[in-house]
């Protein structure tokens, strides 16, 4: 970009981030929607505020050929937000970019496969963590951020906070899982986190990348492969840097 283009882009990009926050978007959405703006700017080498319809169509055509449809959908939504809230423009041609309507049921792990994975997990914190995720039906980040106060032993329920869409919910707590959580907590006695960071001086929960790395290793050793992975299976195996 020329210095002028870069200056204009920096200004609009900052406004884009601000608008995302003002609209209450979650951090993951802010990251992906801002990445969409950076990607198209890098593609054309200029600020994307004055691209014509044909340029946008050519860009998405190239994106479809080089990326997955999930990336195309996220970029489409991110740029739609950028045009609507930052540029105050409407995409009259938005319906042209229509991701494939393909629905496949994800492969889920069988009870035996889950038992095998947990049994092959050597480190206690990962073993109890995986047991908790599968027995409670939690997403990866939900399990990471479980706190002691979320466990209601009287009603045998777990208060899952800030789940998908920022919603809270209550899930049943199996007695076996409660027993495992109690035994594991005795090993660290952290005042807040059920799964604290392995660094004793830190007040952070267990590291997401560490969980994913351990899971990939165990799944490889067990020889388990799922073509159409469930969201939980995918999040556990996903590269933390992606």
Contact 172, 157 (CB under 8 A): yes
Distance CA 233, CA 202 (A): 28
> What CA–CA distance (Å, rounded) separates 59 from 76?
11
With b for 16 or more beta-carbon neighbours within 10 A and e for fewer, the 158-178 pattern comes to bebeeeeeeeeeeeebeeebb
- Residue 104 inside a domain? The answer is no
Question: What pLDDT does residue 241 have?
Answer: 39
Task: Give the residue carrying structure tokens 């959908």.
Answer: 73
Burial of 40 (0-12, 13-18, 19+ CB in 10 A): buried
95-119: per-residue pLDDT in tens? 667 666 655 545 566 677 777 877 7
Domain membership of residue 8 as a residue range: 3-96
Does residue 102 sit within a domain? no
CATH number for 117: 1.10.443.10
- Give the CATH number for residue 13: 1.10.150.130
**Residue 133: count of CB within 10 angstroms of its CB:** 23
Domain boundary residue among 64, 96, 128? Answer: 96
Average pLDDT, the chain: 83
Domain boundary among 61, 96, 131: 96
Closest of 184, 171, 230, 235 to residue 208, by C-alpha: 235
Is residue 84 assigned to a domain? yes
Query: Is residue 142 situated within a structural domain?
Result: yes
In terms of Cβ atoms closer than 10 Å to its own Cβ (0-12, 13-18, 19+), residue 197 is middle
Residue 25 pLDDT > 80? yes
Answer whether residue 156 shows pLDDT above 90.
yes
Helices 27-44 and 69-81, axial angle in degrees (round to 10): 90
Give the pLDDT score at 101: 60
pLDDT of residue 181: 93
Per residue in 134-157, is it b (16+ CB within 10 Å) or e — as a string?
bbbebebebbbbbeeebbeeeeeb
Residues 10 and 90 in one domain: yes
Instruction: Say yes or no to pLDDT of 228 above 50.
Output: no
Domain limit, last residue, from 96, 127, 147: 96
The total number of structural domains in the chain stands at 2
The model's confidence at residue 230, banded by pLDDT at 50, 70 and 90, is very low
- pTM for the model stands at 0.55
Is 101 contained in some domain? no
49 shares a domain with 24: yes
pLDDT of amino acid 26: 85
């Amino acid at each position: 970009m020329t210095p002028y283009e870069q200056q204009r882009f920096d200004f609009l990009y900052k406004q884009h981030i601000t608008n995302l926050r003002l609209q209450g978007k979650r951090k993951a959405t802010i990251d992906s929607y801002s990445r969409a703006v950076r990607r198209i700017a890098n593609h054309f080498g200029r600020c994307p505020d004055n691209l014509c319809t044909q340029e946008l169509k050519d860009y998405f055509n190239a994106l479809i050929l080089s990326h997955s449809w999930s990336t195309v959908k996220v970029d489409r939504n991110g740029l739609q937000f950028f045009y609507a809230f930052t540029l105050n423009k409407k995409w009259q041609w938005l319906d042209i970019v229509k991701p494939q309507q393909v629905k496949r049921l994800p492969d889920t792990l069988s009870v035996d496969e889950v038992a095998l994975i947990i049994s092959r997990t050597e480190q206690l914190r990962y073993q109890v963590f995986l047991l908790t995720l599968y027995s409670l039906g939690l997403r990866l980040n939900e399990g990471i951020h479980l706190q002691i106060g979320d466990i209601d032993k009287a009603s045998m329920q777990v208060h899952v906070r800030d789940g998908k869409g920022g919603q809270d919910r209550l899930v049943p707590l199996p007695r076996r899982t409660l027993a495992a959580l109690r035994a594991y907590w005795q090993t660290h006695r952290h005042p807040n986190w059920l799964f604290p960071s392995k660094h004793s001086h830190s007040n952070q929960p267990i590291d997401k990348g560490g969980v994913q790395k351990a899971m990939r290793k165990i799944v490889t050793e067990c020889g388990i492969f799922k073509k159409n992975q469930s969201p939980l299976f995918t999040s556990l195996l996903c590269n933390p840097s992606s």
